[in-house]
Each structure stands twice: as structure tokens, then as C-alpha cells.
């Protein structure tokens, strides 16, 4: 069940003898970083740039066009609610860290607890945000402000959803006992963990830009 704990394909030198196929040779590892971690880091660069395009639009609409009121009268952003939501998401970064520290030391209970908590906190964040959307009073068509507000927070919400999907898979496999102490046997938690930290940090930037700045 060794390969079950690795989310993405890897060299299978060890299996070559067991199969009638002549398998590929084990690739030479020419860097200290493993493929999955490097892959998710590069993907995060892409994601940052996607957010970058929407941030670019944000500053064009707010600074270059420079409308008379931002947000337009009479709307206001619920900074308090969003701030509380920020606290929820930030704390989920600590719980995923707790889970990772747990499995690195071989503590599977800590990993399960951490993953489950992270998952619940992420879900709470999404629910609070949807609730906020319902009560804001303006829509995505309310001038350029409504457009870019819903686009940026919605884009982030979509990323929370992707992160939650990855975490769901990791949690299922954690409860099935598929992860272990060795680094290559818990990549399935490490990689979603890195992505979750990205989602979290990106929210702090979105929150600071949209709600506070």
C-alpha cells in the first residue's frame, strides 16, 4: 500500500521485479526538494499571478478611475464580521501545522485531530462568507466596486473550496491510516498543507486590500 500514500505518480523502481512488465529505472534525484512539493510551490506561483491579475484590476478601478465614493454610497463593508472570519481562517493554518507536526513525529491521532479541525474551520469560513454575501445589500453589478469586491473575494472563496477538497481527501486517507512518519509517506498531507497556508496568506492580503485599505 506504499504508493497509496503518495498523491502523485512517482518512480516505481521497487516494483519492477514483481511485474511482468519491465518497469522504468528509478530516476536520479538531482535536487533535495521532492517533486510533489516543488510542483505545488510552482502551482502556487501561478495562483498568486491569477490573484495578481484581479488585484491589478482592483487598483485600476479604484486608483486609476478614482470614483467619487469607494464603496459607493450608502453601502459599507462589514469589517468586523470579516475580521472574525479572518481569525477563523488564520487559526486553521495553526491546526494544519499541528497536524503536520504530529505526523512528522509519528503521532497519527494528532494528525487526524488537526486535519479534522482545519477542515471544520475552513468550512466555517465559507459559510460565514456566504452569509456575508447574502446580507451585504449590493450585488456584483453594483458599479465597479461590487464587481471587483465579489470577484476578489469570490476567487478566494473558490480557492478555499479547492483547498477544502484537497483536505477532504487527505482527511479520508488519514482516518484510513494511509499516512506514516517517513517524509515520503505523508506527502498527501504535506502538499495540501502547503496549499492551505497559501489560501490563508492570500486571504490576509485580500482582506487587507478590500476591507481595510
Q: What are the residues binding other proteins (CB under 8 A)?
A: 1-4, 7-9, 11-12, 15, 19, 21-31, 33-35, 38-39, 42-43, 45-47, 49-50, 52-54, 56-57, 60-61, 64-65, 67, 140-141, 143-148, 150-151, 165, 168-169, 172-173, 175-176, 178, 188
Residue closer to other proteins (CB basis): 67 or 83: 67
Task: Give me the long-range contacts of 10-17 (CB less than 8 A, separation at least 24).
Answer: 10/35
Smallest distance, other proteins to C-beta of residue 84, A: 28
- Distance in angstroms (rounded) separating the CA atoms of residues 209 and 130: 19
Residue closer to other proteins (CB basis): 37 or 91: 37
Smallest distance, other proteins to C-beta of residue 107, A: 20
CA distances from 146 to 30, 137, 150, 157 (A): 49, 10, 6, 16
Smallest distance, other proteins to C-beta of residue 65, A: 5
Cell numbers given for 22: 519491465
Residue closer to other proteins (CB basis): 143 or 180: 143
Q: Got the DSSP string for 12-52?
A: -GGGGGGSSS-PPPPPP--SSS-HHHHHHHHHHHHHHHHHH
Smallest distance, other proteins to C-beta of residue 93, A: 22
Residue closer to other proteins (CB basis): 15 or 181: 15
Dihedral sign for Cα 144, 149, 152, 158, please: negative
Smallest distance, other proteins to C-beta of residue 17, A: 12
Amino acid at each position: 500500500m506504499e504508493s497509496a500514500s503518495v498523491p502523485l505518480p512517482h518512480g516505481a523502481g521497487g516494483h519492477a521485479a514483481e511485474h511482468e512488465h519491465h518497469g522504468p529505472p528509478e530516476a536520479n534525484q538531482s535536487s533535495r526538494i521532492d517533486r510533489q512539493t516543488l510542483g505545488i510551490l510552482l502551482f502556487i506561483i501561478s495562483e498568486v499571478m491569477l490573484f495578481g491579475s484581479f488585484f491589478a484590476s482592483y487598483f485600476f478601478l479604484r486608483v486609476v478611475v478614482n470614483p467619487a465614493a469607494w464603496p459607493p454610497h450608502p453601502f459599507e463593508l462589514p469589517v468586523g464580521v470579516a475580521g472574525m472570519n479572518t481569525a477563523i481562517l488564520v487559526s486553521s493554518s495553526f491546526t494544519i501545522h499541528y497536524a503536520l507536526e504530529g505526523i512528522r513525529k509519528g503521532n497519527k491521532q494528532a494528525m487526524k485531530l488537526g486535519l479534522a479541525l482545519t477542515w471544520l474551520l475552513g468550512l466555517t469560513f465559507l459559510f460565514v462568507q456566504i452569509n456575508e454575501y447574502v446580507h451585504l445589500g449590493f450585488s456584483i453589478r453594483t458599479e465597479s466596486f461590487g464587481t471587483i469586491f465579489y470577484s476578489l473575494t469570490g476567487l478566494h472563496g473558490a480557492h478555499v473550496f479547492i483547498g477544502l477538497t484537497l483536505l477532504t481527501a487527505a482527511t479520508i486517507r488519514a482516518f484510513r491510516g494511509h499516512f506514516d512518519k517517513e517524509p515520503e509517506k505523508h506527502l498527501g498531507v504535506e502538499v495540501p498543507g502547503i496549499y492551505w497556508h497559501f489560501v490563508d496568506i492570500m486571504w490576509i492580503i485580500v482582506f487587507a486590500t478590500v476591507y481595510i485599505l
